Each structure stands twice: as C-alpha cells, then as structure tokens.
A and B are shown apart, each in its own frame.
Chain A
Amino acid sequence: LAKTTQPISMDSYEGQEVNITCSHNNIATNDYITWYQQFPSQGPRFIIQGYKTKVTNEVASLFIPADRKSSTLSLPRVSLSDTAVYYCLVTLMNTGFQKLVFGTGTRLLVSP
C-alpha cells in the first residue's frame, strides 16, 4: 500500500474551516483514501472514505484530484471537540481483510 505524508500538526480556532492535506504519490488503482479521527485514550474512528472527486458526509468532506496523488480532508466550522489526531490511510477496495497502515497523523488543536 502507498505511503502517506501529512502535516504533523495544525492549529485552528473555533468556527474556522480546517483543511488537512495528505500526499500518497504511489497510490494504486484499487486503493481508496480513508481518514480516521482519534481522541486521546480512544480507538480511531472512521470519518470518511473516497476514491475520486468529492465525497461529503455529515462530518467532513474529502477532495481527491484526478491524479489521486493527494487528498484533502475538510472540516467545516470546527469546534473545540474537533481537537484530535487525524490519520490519512490508503486502503484496499471492497475488503475487510486488510491491515490498516497508520502514520503518525496530524494533531489538530482547536482553540477558543
């Protein structure tokens, strides 16, 4: 699976939009991009997954350009409770038989 690179940390204020970019230059045709959120002393929580263009759910949006070598997680109007570590992963299509490869993630700190 392709290696991902994302910023180590980001700071924001309540009410702002946060965009976290991830690069995955060696992504393969059968790979998805998946984002997880993790709060301290809790397990990661699935946020969003996409293959190309744009995906939106009630929590976030995921933008993937045509070459799929990068992706951007967008969190609209963040609140203090969005302070967490966000992981960008490349995952296989249509199978639960996969080992998730986590990097060190992006630590997002939201301040009042």
Chain B
Amino acid sequence: DAGVTQSPTHLIKTRGQQVTLRCSPKSGHDTVSWYQQALGQGPQFIFQYYEEEERQRGNFPDRFSGHQFPNYSSELNVNALLLGDSALYLCASSLGQGAHTEAFFGQGTRLTVV
C-alpha cells in the first residue's frame, strides 16, 4: 500500500516565478492538507481540500492556491515566489470522517527560491 507521495522531491526556482507541487494521498484517504515547514520550525498549515473544495485555510496569502482532483490527488501552486517561500512543503492525507483520523505525511518537496 503506497503511502503519501509527493513530487518533485527538490525544486529550485527564481524569485517571481510560479511553482506547482503535487501530492497523491494514501490509498483510501479523501482529504489532503498542505503544510509549509521552514528550517528549524514545525510545519505550518496552509490549507485543506476535501471533495475538490478548499475546506479551511491557514494564514497564508492568496499567492498560495490549490486544487484537488476527483481521484483525491492535489496540487499546491505558489505564484510570484519570494525568497521567504523557501521551505519544505509537506502534504498530509487523512480520512475526513471516521474513527481513525490520524494524518499521514509525505516526504515533502524541498523548494529553494533564489
């Protein structure tokens, strides 16, 4: 059973560019959340998708947007990249409703903005 997979694993972009990160959730999971983790900090919640809609959002600007597809996979898009967007971007999947609700994380995408 494949867990949460993210692509690419590493990415280097230039300030002002746009980037798209991808996530495939664990089999059977229908909810995808995205987190940003700066060096030495804990992950910070960006937003969450369920049934192809953004369900809740953290304190991130509109430059951060996302999408969920009918197969539950998801994308994170960041426009007008800033140096401060350099971080590890983590995708977590969970089952929205039910008793076993722990989130499973992918390995992350390391984004470097130069």
Contact = CB atoms under 8 A, between A and B. Distances in A.
Interface of A: 34, 41-46, 49, 87, 94-105
B21 interface: no
A97 B106 CA distance: 18
B63 interface: no
A100 B108 contact: no
Contacts, number: 68
B102 A44 contact: no
Interface of B: 4, 29, 31, 33, 35, 40-45, 48, 50, 55-56, 58, 88, 90-92, 94-99, 101-108, 110
A95 B97 contact: yes
Contacts of A44: 43, 90, 105
B4 A43 contact: yes
B94 A96 contact: yes
B101 A95 contact: yes
Contacts of B101: 94-96, 98
A100 B42 CA distance: 10
A96 B42 contact: no
B74 to A, nearest CB: 14
Contact of B48 (A45, A46, A99, A102): A99
Contacts of A42: 107-108
13 contacts: A43-B4, A43-B106, A49-B102, A87-B42, A96-B94, A96-B101, A97-B48, A97-B55, A97-B97, A102-B35, A102-B42, A102-B44, A105-B42
A102 B42 CA distance: 5
Contacts of B106: 43
